[in-house]
Amino acid sequence: MTEPGVLVEETGHGAVAWAGLRLAPARRLRDHRGYATLPEEQRRAEAAAAELAWLTAQCRPGTATRFELRCTSDGGLLRCVLLARADAATPGAAAETVQLLLELLARLPAHVRSEPIGDPGELRVELNALTPDGSPPAVVDLREIRKLLVGWPIARPNPARRHSVTAAPFGAPTDRSWEPFWTALARQPSATTLSVCLQPTQLPPGTDLVLRQFAEAYAQLAMPSGGSPLWAGARRGDPAAEAGRDFFDDAVRRYLGPSYRIRVTLAAAGALPPGLAELLADQLGGTAVLTPADAERATAWQNLTGLGLAPLPETYRQHVDPASWTEIEQELAGLADRHEATAAFRLPYEIGGRPELFLQPPYVAEPVAEPAPAGGRETADPGRPRY
């Protein structure tokens, strides 16, 4: 028997279960003395630090689970949900796993409050997000936001590869305000949603040797040459090889431990306006905005509606040399360490005195924050938010 608030579907390989939470900023924090007196930059920094700790706790590879933050324009505000997915051999096992995942996800930072989505019908609507009844919209416009790939031509004679391919990590500061993008998203005349999906993962044993072999091969090409009688002095190493060496050295540091597979999608029931996807890309630190190839549009839509992470090889390649776009670059370009994940997966927050951005679902009464102690000097106030 399926539990309330869990949606289960059987597949040819087992079963998939979804569950979810409605999210909104915790309003009481805006009026609490210990919060309101902080500078805005510090509040954002503390919120980002709390979300980093929360995402770190969620990164548990090997559980066949994933989760997604989804913000959808709704009457001038944003409807925000946190969706969870679990895959298992049987419907019962999938339902049990997704409920356990939802319990962990619900341990949110203090600046966010949540309410379970108790109706599977509502959950199905949120999985679609672009129509009030969950049916497929007549027109869908999709953009995938990915790490920017750069193919560097290797100048050294007779290299094993013609290009080194690098993927720039999400480089935006995690305390950057999301208000400009959220405001633009909320103002969209047609239903528009931002979907950020994360799946805990860990690269298989032996990957460290592969990454180090790539780094060493590029390091050899990057070594300065000894010069020749026709040139005065040594020549510098190949810049393309230097870029490849630095990319794989960085991958060893970032991705050998637990990390996330990541997908960032912007979708609208109608045409996306010029500039919205680019504003999101800038928010993440200069990433690439990609329109799914015609042959991959159906897969992109299925990813959005099912919390999927199926690859879009033609779309994701971004015009780099196919011969240099190997499986290892494809895998690394789709990974995010916990800091990159925090840059993209920003939970809702609001600053007092600013226009409201998020819908407030009908939660149970929010507890009133404890007053500051008499005497004017704050001590270890248990009511003060600690991010």
Neighbours of 46 (CB within 10 A): 19
Whole-number pLDDT of residue 379 = 34
pLDDT in the model for residue 332: 93
Number of other residues whose CB lies within 10 A of the CB of residue 169: 23
Q: What is the pLDDT averaged over residues 149-169?
A: 81
Specify the pTM.
0.88
Mean pLDDT of 350-370: 69
Q: Helices (H), strands (E): how many in the chain?
A: 13, 12
Rounded Cα distance between 51 and 45, Å, is 10
Mean pLDDT is lowest, of 44-53, 139-148, 369-378, for 369-378
Residue whose tokens read 């270890």:
380
How far, in Å, CA of 172 to CA of 287, rounded?
A: 10
Q: 148 with 168: CB under 8 angstroms?
A: yes
Quote the tokens at residue 332: 């690394």
Both tokens assigned to 324: 């240099």
State pLDDT tens for residues 59-69: 999 888 999 99
Q: Is the pLDDT of residue 317 over 70?
A: yes
Across the range 173-179, mean pLDDT stands at: 83
Q: What is the pLDDT of residues 32-58, one digit of tens each?
A: 555 667 787 888 888 899 999 999 999
Query: Confidence class of residue 351 from pLDDT cuts 50, 70 and 90?
Result: confident
Mean pLDDT lowest among 4-8, 285-289, 379-383 = 379-383
What is the per-residue pLDDT for 285?
87
CATH number of the domain at 7-202+257-344, please?
Answer: 3.40.462
pLDDT at 59: 94
Q: How far apart are the first and last CA of the chain?
A: 39
pLDDT band of residue 372 (cuts 50, 70, 90) is very low
Confidence bin at 354 (pLDDT 50/70/90): confident
| pLDDT: which is higher, 238 or 34 | 238
pLDDT score of 371 more than 60:
no
| Domain segments of the chain as ranges | 7-202+257-344
Look at residue 82 and tell me whether its pLDDT is greater than 60: yes
pLDDT band at 368 (very low <50, low <70, confident <90, very high): very low
Please, what is the average pLDDT of the chain?
A: 86
Q: Residue 225's pLDDT is what?
A: 65
pLDDT at 7 over 80: yes
Residue 42 makes CB contacts below 8 A (sequence gap 6+) with none
Query: Quick one: pLDDT at residue 380?
Result: 33
For residue 207, name the pLDDT band (cuts at 50, 70, 90): very high
Angle between helices 207-222 and 239-255 (to 10 degrees): 160
